[in-house]
Amino acid sequence: MFIVTPIRNGVASLGRGACFLGDVFVCVLRGRVRWGEVFKQVFEQGVRSLVIVMLASFASGAVLAMQGRVMMERFGAKEFIAQLVALSLVRELSPVFTALVFSGKSGAGMAAELGTMSVNSQIMATRTMGVDPVEFLVVPRILACLIVLPILVVMSELVGILGGYMIGVHEANVPSIYYVNQTIQCLGFVDFFTGFVKVFFFAILIGWTCSYKGFFTTGGSLGVGRYTTEAVAMCYVGVIVSNTILTKIILTFWGS
């Protein structure tokens, strides 16, 4: 049947993926965490994504301010650019943008590394040396995602606001002090918090998807390319779709 088979395969691979994540959790709960490896990964993933995340954030903050200026001027409310930029970035754009860029950079790197190790028997070799490859190779990567992504998001929010400031102050001629004050005053803890909780979910989603795909890569170097692309595509879809659901849930609780 043309529809049953893909659904069955999908459910089966979701099941395998869940078991894999279960193994990861068991490892962490038993305290089998190699912190040295975690920090190596934190460094690697951070370095991989840092520049591109900052660039994207600065640009999106600037673009928000440009468009915001046009929109706000229509209502004669130019002074609200600061609020528009800060709230959009902190509540929504920075977490989602950063997660997407991070999937494409660090996530892809993770999937490709593990994929290469899988097709070169390095993962099997880990087992032959009596070491659990999930503990040695996967747990550090997923934990590193959980550490790096939130840091990147906070940096992205700051840089994005800076991008908005440049446009707001130098192009829209909002007084500098006024812009800064508006930004600080409009941002409540709830704005930061509702954006930030999502980040931890995205981090697990990206770490899980990319390491799972990489870990079970087969088919030589062609396979590495295929599985890595699949992993990144799944992250994109996963982040965008889960963001909608999460936003709905969060707004239900902390909406007003």
Partner 1 sequence: MIRVRGLSKSFNGQKVLDAIDFDVATGEIVAVLGPSGTGKSVLLLHLIGLMTPDSGEVDIDGVQVSRLPEHALLKFRRNVGYLFQDSALYDFMTVEENLAFPLREHGGLKAAEIKSKVREFLEMVDMADAGMKYPSQLSGGMRKRAALARAMVTGSKVLLCDEPTSGLDPIRSRDISFLIKGLSKKLGCTTVITTHDVKNAFRCADRAMVLHEGRIVIDGVEQKLRASTDPFVKEFLE
Task: Give the residues lining the site for partner 1 (CB under 8 A).
Answer: 113, 116-117, 120-122, 124-125, 127-132
Nearer residue to partner 1 within complex by CB, 58 or 227? 227
CB of 129 to partner 1, least distance (A): 4
Q: Are 72 and 78 in contact (CB under 8 A)?
A: yes
Nearer residue to partner 1 within complex by CB, 44 or 79? 44
Nearer residue to partner 1 within complex by CB, 121 or 181? 121
Looking at residue 139, its amino acid is V
CB of 42 to partner 1, least distance (A): 15
CB of 203 to partner 1, least distance (A): 22
Write the DSSP assignment of 133-191 as a string of letters. Answer: HIIIIIHHHHHHHHHHHHHHHHHHHHHHHHHHHHHHHHTS---HHHHHHHHHHH--HHH
Nearer residue to partner 1 within complex by CB, 70 or 131? 131
Q: What is the C-alpha separation between 239 and 246, in angstroms, rounded? A: 10
Looking at residue 56, its amino acid is A
Please state the φ and ψ torsions of residue 84, each to the nearest 5 degrees.
-55, -50
CB of 125 to partner 1, least distance (A): 4
Nearer residue to partner 1 within complex by CB, 119 or 143? 119
Nearer residue to partner 1 within complex by CB, 34 or 78? 34
CB of 217 to partner 1, least distance (A): 14
Q: Are 101 and 53 in contact (CB under 8 A)?
A: yes
Q: Which residue is associated with the tokens 């997923």? A: 142
CB of 7 to partner 1, least distance (A): 22
CB of 211 to partner 1, least distance (A): 15
Nearer residue to partner 1 within complex by CB, 136 or 236? 136
Q: Are 240 and 138 in contact (CB under 8 A)?
A: no
Q: Are 57 and 163 in contact (CB under 8 A)?
A: yes
Looking at residue 26, its amino acid is V
Alpha-carbon torsion, ordered 149, 155, 160, 165, to 10 deg: 170
